[in-house]
Amino acid sequence: MLSTDTDILATAEAWREAGRGVALATVIETWGSAPRPVGSHLIIDEEGNFLGSVSGGCVEGAVIAEAADVIEDGQPRVLEFGVADETAWRVGLSCGGRIRVLVEPVA
Amino acid sequence: MKLDILREMNRERAARRAVILITDTTDGGQRLVREAEADHDPLAPELLARFRSGKSGIVEAEGRSLFLTVQVPPPRLVVIGAVHISQALAPMARLTDLDVTIIDPRTAFATPERFPDVNLLPLWPDDALAQLPPLDRYTALAALTHDPKIDDPALVAALKVECFYVGALGSRKTHGRRVERLTAAGLTSEQISRIAAPIGLDIGAVSPAEIAVSTLAQVIAALRQDRRRAPT
């Protein structure tokens, strides 16, 4: 079964309680035909395990890589992906949409 | 996000209470606002509108860019009647991420063997509903017993709190008598007109499983009202 927001945030709490470093990624803005709605969550632990989705697969890799730094230094950041962005070539939102993703530590 | 705030959000969700998390996108600062407290918040008009729409998003306020994570209770389906249709409806509804509860005081019907892995309450609706988080705008209720003694109290409760979907099994003739009873019970014609009866989308359903499909489709149509291309 697909994971719901309930599962995702409850799992984030459980991972943190178990002493794992955890980052929470949230879609905060979309333009055009973005694949996941505003408010969608992805959680990532320090070993790169993840649950949820911010783009249906297009940019998860880049978000997960950035999450490792967020867990490491404890600083939140906002990432932007889309056609106007050079990273689109590398991580690709093939739908042509644009999204902004907030990645923050769960501390 | 502070672990305390995450815990609080998960607690509120489990208790089926709506909250909004306000995040300053510049510095990551956060605070949580419960629906009951929103009236007195500096951002009150924006927050109240968001609680109604259920939509998360950015707002510009006090020279800052704030992200509002709107967390409303997950959609839930309460089924009155541990009947054949319910046996098909419960697993289908769960696949679409609805929390499912089945209520039926007839203990011959409400057995775990007939309803594995379902929250099943072998009680009269008034007693069962008192044990659950209260019915709310994020709950759908389907009354499937054909028995007014069991269905009616649940329908009255669901209409009073404006459940997002209220459906009742039975022919037009049966529903006509139901309308008379609910009117006598003090409900307005506007409230009563919200009942989907005969229940389900008109797909010509015959078998219990087909009636379950048509009912579930109708629940989803009500849940996704604002996304539909043409009202029916």
Give A-chain residues touching B94 at CB under 8 angstroms: 1
pLDDT exceeds cutoff 80 at A78: yes
pLDDT exceeds cutoff 50 at A1: no
Give A-chain residues touching B117 at CB under 8 angstroms: none
Residues of chain B with CATH 3.40.50.720: 76-227
**B59 — contact with chain A (CB < 8 Å)?**
no
Q: Which pLDDT score is estimated for A32? A: 78
Question: Do A13 and B67 count as a contact with CB atoms less than 8 A apart?
Answer: no
Query: How far lies B4's CA from each of A18, A52, B117, in Å?
Result: 15, 21, 31
Torsion sign (Cα): B44, B3, A26, B71? negative
Question: Do A10 and B10 count as a contact with CB atoms less than 8 A apart?
Answer: yes
Question: Do A106 and B74 count as a contact with CB atoms less than 8 A apart?
Answer: no
pLDDT digits (tens, 9 = 90+) for B199-231: 999 999 999 999 999 999 999 999 988 777 765
* Phi/psi at A30 (5° precision): -135, 150
pLDDT digits (tens, 9 = 90+) for B51-92: 988 899 999 988 899 999 999 998 999 999 999 999 999 999
Q: Which pLDDT score is estimated for A90? A: 55
CA-based nearest residue to A18, from B3, B123, B229: B3
pLDDT exceeds cutoff 70 at B109: yes
- Token pair 């949409």 in the structure block, residue: A97
**B69 — contact with chain A (CB < 8 Å)?**
yes
CA-based nearest residue to B160, from B201, B199, B195, B119: B195
pLDDT digits (tens, 9 = 90+) for B2-53: 999 999 999 999 889 999 999 999 888 999 999 989 999 999 999 999 998 8
Give B-chain residues touching A5 at CB under 8 angstroms: 71, 74
In chain A, what are the domain boundaries? 5-106
Task: Pick one of 3.50.30.30, 3.40.718.10, 3.20.20.80, 3.40.50.720 as the CATH number of B76-227.
Answer: 3.40.50.720
* pLDDT band, very low/low/confident/very high, at A96 (cuts 50, 70, 90): low
Helix, strand, coil tally for chain B in percent (to 5): 40, 20, 40
